C-alpha cells in the first residue's frame, strides 16, 4: 500500500498545490496540425513564375496618336513654345504610364528616342524637326513596326 503525503491526498479539499519553484509558467506544445506562419515563396520560385501577359496596348496607342496629331498641328501652326513644351510633357507622362504597366518595352524605347529628339528640337526651335517627330510618333501609334533597342552602351566619345 502506498500512502500519499497529506497535501497530495485525494481527500484534501481546496485548490491544487502550487508547482515547485514559485511562479513558474508552463509551456505547451502547439497542436500537431499547427504549421506556423506561412513563409513567402523563395526568390527562385518568384523568378521562375511566368510574367503576366501585357495589357492591351490599344488605349495607349490611341492616346499616342492623339498626342502626335496635336504636336503636328501645333508645329504646323507655329504655336508658342509653352504650348509645345506642354505637349512634350504630356508625351513624357504618357511614356511613364506605359512603363508603369510593363510589357511594352520596345514601344517604350521607340517613343523614348522620339521624346529625346523632341526635347532637342524644342531647344533649337526647329519646326520641321517637330513635324518629322510628330509623323514618326503617329507611325508608331498606327502600328508601324517598332525598331528593337540596340544593345550595349553608346560609345564614350559620342
> Which one is predicted more confidently, 4 or 97?
97
Domain contains 135: yes
The count of domains in the chain is 1
DSSP string, the chain: -----GGG-TT--SSPPPPTTSS-----PPPTT---SPPPPPHHHHHHSPPPPPPPTHHHHHHHHHHHHHHHHHHHHT--HHHHHHHHHHHHHHHHHHHHH-S-HHHHHHHHHHHHHHHHHHHHT-HHHHHHHHHHHHHHHTTPPPPPPPPSPPPTT-
Q: What confidence category does residue 47 fall into, taking pLDDT thresholds of 50, 70 and 90? A: low
134 in any annotated domain: yes
- The pLDDT tens digits of the residues spanning 116-150 come to 999 999 988 888 999 999 999 999 888 876 555 55
Residue 36: inside a domain, yes or no? no
In-domain check, residue 46: no
**88 lies in some domain:** yes
Residue 35 lies in a domain: no
Domain extent for 115: 58-141
Does residue 57 surpass a pLDDT of 60?
yes
Amino acid at each position: 500500500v502506498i500512502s500519499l503525503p497529506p497535501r497530495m491526498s485525494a481527500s484534501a479539499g481546496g485548490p491544487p498545490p502550487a508547482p515547485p519553484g514559485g511562479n513558474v509558467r508552463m509551456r505547451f506544445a502547439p497542436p500537431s496540425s499547427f504549421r506556423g506562419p506561412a513563409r513567402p515563396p523563395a526568390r527562385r520560385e518568384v523568378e521562375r513564375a511566368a510574367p503576366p501577359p501585357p495589357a492591351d496596348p490599344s488605349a495607349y496607342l490611341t492616346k499616342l496618336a492623339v498626342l502626335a496629331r496635336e504636336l503636328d498641328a501645333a508645329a504646323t501652326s507655329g504655336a508658342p513654345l509653352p504650348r509645345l513644351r506642354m505637349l512634350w510633357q504630356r508625351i513624357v507622362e504618357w511614356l511613364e504610364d506605359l512603363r508603369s504597366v510593363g510589357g511594352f518595352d520596345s514601344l517604350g524605347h521607340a517613343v523614348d528616342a522620339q521624346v529625346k529628339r523632341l526635347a532637342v528640337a524644342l531647344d533649337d526651335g526647329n519646326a520641321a524637326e517637330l513635324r518629322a517627330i510628330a509623323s514618326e510618333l503617329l507611325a508608331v501609334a498606327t502600328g508601324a513596326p517598332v525598331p528593337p533597342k540596340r544593345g550595349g552602351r553608346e560609345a564614350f566619345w559620342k
